[in-house]
Structure 1
């Protein structure tokens, strides 16, 4: 039986729910230059344009057609039924994990549904689109809220908590993420170093330099429910499980 599990999720799990991934093959984010919409400098130059960009993402998330998929639901089930410790770390800024029922959750890149006071760093839940009227209640005078999103050049959220979880886990699963950008790229190395089993779930073939012990290729919505079922049954991941998931 596993006792402590860390799960990292990326854009691939949300893409199966119909959310477009930000970064296109040409390096643009939804036809925008990254430096214009995903850096503090871009926000300082044109906050209204940056707000429009995230408002479009917010609208897509709440248009009624985007719902948690079977992988989100399986991870929520794991949280509810697993007797040990579980931490889901997501690189995604959507709220699909929450909608599925996950609560032991850390958004390392922020949350689309929140704004943040630039002075106190306190966060506030957004019930509608960003505008100049969204201000904090923690400062005098009130500060204009910025998107609660970790931009390039900023420090991801909760790294100390993530590091502690990786130091003590016996199973690390990465779902729908390339895991090639630091600090997330180092998570598998940390887990391996401390003797955990490491499993990657992705649509694409494993990179030949991958540090993961097991690579399960296919849709997260198909593979993750199988993995969760096996974990809850007390099964240890093995080559047989690997082959069954791919088959």
Structure 2
């Protein structure tokens, strides 16, 4: 049975109450991206960055998986072939919805990273500027988040999956952030059928063979039900 590779973006978690950085009035609207989502911003004001991600961590902890997360977990469980979920999201709603082996290409709010020795550990709900690394004790802890200008995680693994996919789906993505925006081209080149499920057309909508528009909590369960029905 063909392999299914699914890319998810902020749109799948929006209905769980987690806003994107393009939403007006949310956490992102209160800060410049350069100040809270770049290595340079962290170097300038680590306290601001830690407080920003502390707030995001609290917000994510209060969110609940929605019907779209749960439908993808059901697809993973019931599809006779492999289903790989790649997400640009840093929340853990896929896992809490029942998904397994999710590739978090932009890192995780639940993770901490030492910039001195590279050690990773589970982040406390509140991190402080100068937080010590439990491995080397350097005051160099940061959120384990891929910031703008940094290389996303798992890229070799992801491209390997795209090369062997029979079906590629992008759900709730803007198509404006690379390298993820280029995944549809990689999958198409490998011969996969491609589908976009989104609230509205993305910047890369013309590259998909199939499109479905509407709230993820409606379109994703419907799509999964059709796949499983054969």
Question: 1:131 aligns to what?
Answer: 128
Structure 2 SS opposite 1:44: helix
The structure-2 alpha-carbon separation of the partners of 1:31 and 1:230, relative to structure 1 and needing over 3 Å to count, comes to: same
User: CA offset at residue 208 of structure 1?
Assistant: 8.2
User: CA offset at residue 112 of structure 1?
Assistant: 0.6
User: CA offset at residue 25 of structure 1?
Assistant: 6.2
Say yes or no: does 1:196 pair with 2:192: yes
Unmatched segments (≥5 aa) in structure 2: none
Structure 2 SS opposite 1:78: helix
Say yes or no: does 1:99 pair with 2:96: yes
Structure 2 SS opposite 1:21: coil
Question: 2:160 aligns to what?
Answer: 164
The structure-2 alpha-carbon separation of the partners of 1:182 and 1:110, relative to structure 1 and needing over 3 Å to count, comes to: same
User: CA offset at residue 3 of structure 1?
Assistant: 1.6
Deviations 1:157-202 (A, max 9, x none): 1110000000000000000001222101110001111110000001
Question: 1:47 aligns to what?
Answer: 46
Q: Which runs of 4+ in 1 moved over 4 A?
A: 206-209
Deviations 1:112-152 (A, max 9, x none): 1111111332321124211247432322x444310111111
Say yes or no: does 1:67 pair with 2:89: no
Equivalent pair of 1:6/1:171 in contact (CA under 8 Å): yes
Residues of 1 paired with 2:118 and 2:163: CA distance? 28
Structure 1 or 2, whichever has the larger Rg, is 1
Residues of 2 paired with 1:209 and 1:70: CA distance? 23
Question: 1:179 aligns to what?
Answer: 175
Say yes or no: does 1:118 pair with 2:115: yes
Aligned residues: 229
